[in-house]
Copies of this chain bind each other. A is one copy, B any other.
Amino acid sequence: MNIPDSIQERVKKEIDFFCKSLPKEPKELYEPMRYMLALGGKNLRPSLLLLTCKMLGGKINDAVPAAIAIELFHNFTLIHDDVTDNSPLRRGKPTVYKKWNLNIALLSGDALMIKSYQELNKTPAKYLPAIFQVFNDAALKVCEGQQFDMNYETKSKVTIDDYLNMISMKTAALFSASMEMGAILAGASKSNIKKMQVVGESLGMLFQLKDDMLDVFGDSAQTGKQIGGDIIQDKKTFLLLKALELAKGKTKAELNTLIGNLVISSSEKVERVKKIYNDLGVEEIANKQMEMYYTNAKKALSSIKTPEKDILLALTGALLERKK
C-alpha cells in the first residue's frame, strides 16, 4: 500500500524479532500476542512513524522502538476491543477471547500493553520524555474514544460532531501520535511537529470513514468482513448519522423502522438501509468529507520538499481508494 519496501520490511522484521524474543511461559500470556501479531495487519501506524521520521531527515533506528511500541499498543486495543464489542472474528480468524477465553484476553492484552511500554523505553533518552508523553496522551484518548463508542450504542441522540470527535479519539489519535513521534524523533521544528500531527489526524479520520464506507459499499471477498455488519448492529456511523440528518417524511419513517428492527432478516435490513443511503446520496457526502481530510493533509505537507512527502501523499490517496 504505497509504503516503501525498505520501511515495510523493517517493520516486519522488528515485529518478527519481537515475537521470537517473547518468553515461552506462561504460554497463556504470550501465545495470544504472537497470534494477534501474526494475523497480518497493515502495520500502517509504525510505517507512518518511520516514513515521517525519514521524511524530516531523522534516523530510522532512533524511531524503531516507538514504531514497534505503537503497533503493539494497537494490537493490545484490538484484543480488548474484541471483548467489549463481543466480536467473534478478526481478519477472518477467531478473536483471542473466542479462541482462548475472557481471562486470557484480559491478561494477555494487559501484558501486551506493558510490552509496548518496554519497547518505547528503548527510545534514545533525549527524546524519551516527549515521546512518552505523546504516546500516553494518545493511548488514553483511544480508551476514551472506545468508551464513547460504547456509550453511543445506547444513546438516542448522537450528532455527527459527537461521532467525528469519537473517531478522532478512537482511531485518529494513534495515527496522529505516530506522525508526531516520527517528527519528534527526527528532531523536527515545533512547527513541523505540529504539521505532522495534523497530517496524522487527517489520515486517521479518512481511514476510519473509509472503514465505515467499506462496511456498506465494499466487497466482502476483499474486506474479509460481512457486508453491512454496522447496519445489522445499528452502529451509529457517519453514514447512518448523515442519513438520519437528511431523511425526511416517508424515508425518515422507513429508516426509523429499520433501526433496531429484529423482525426482518439481516440481508433485507442491509438492502433497505443501503437503498436509503443511495437515495440520500450519503456515499457522496462521505467521499467529500474524506477528500476534505486529504486536502488538509496535503496543505499541512505543502512546505515539505523531501521525496518521502510524495510517498506520503500517494499513501494517503491509496487509503482513500482502498478496497480493503
Contacts and interface: CB of A to CB of B under 8 A. Distances in A.
Given A115-B140, A128-B125, A129-B128, A107 B29 contact: no
A267 to B, nearest CB: 29
Contact of A117 (B80, B111, B136): B136
B121 A136 contact: yes
Contacts of A189: none
A114 B135 CA distance: 10
Interface stretch (A142-150, A174-182, A280-288): A142-150
A307 interface: no
Contact of A114 (B83, B107, B143, B146): B143
Interface residues of A, number: 35
A226 interface: no
A107 B28 CA distance: 21
A143 B110 contact: yes
Interface in A1-54: 26, 28-29
Interface string A108-142: 01110111011001000100110011001101100
A295 interface: no
16 contacts: A83-B103, A84-B107, A103-B150, A107-B146, A109-B110, A110-B143, A113-B114, A114-B139, A114-B140, A117-B117, A117-B132, A117-B139, A118-B133, A121-B129, A121-B133, A121-B136
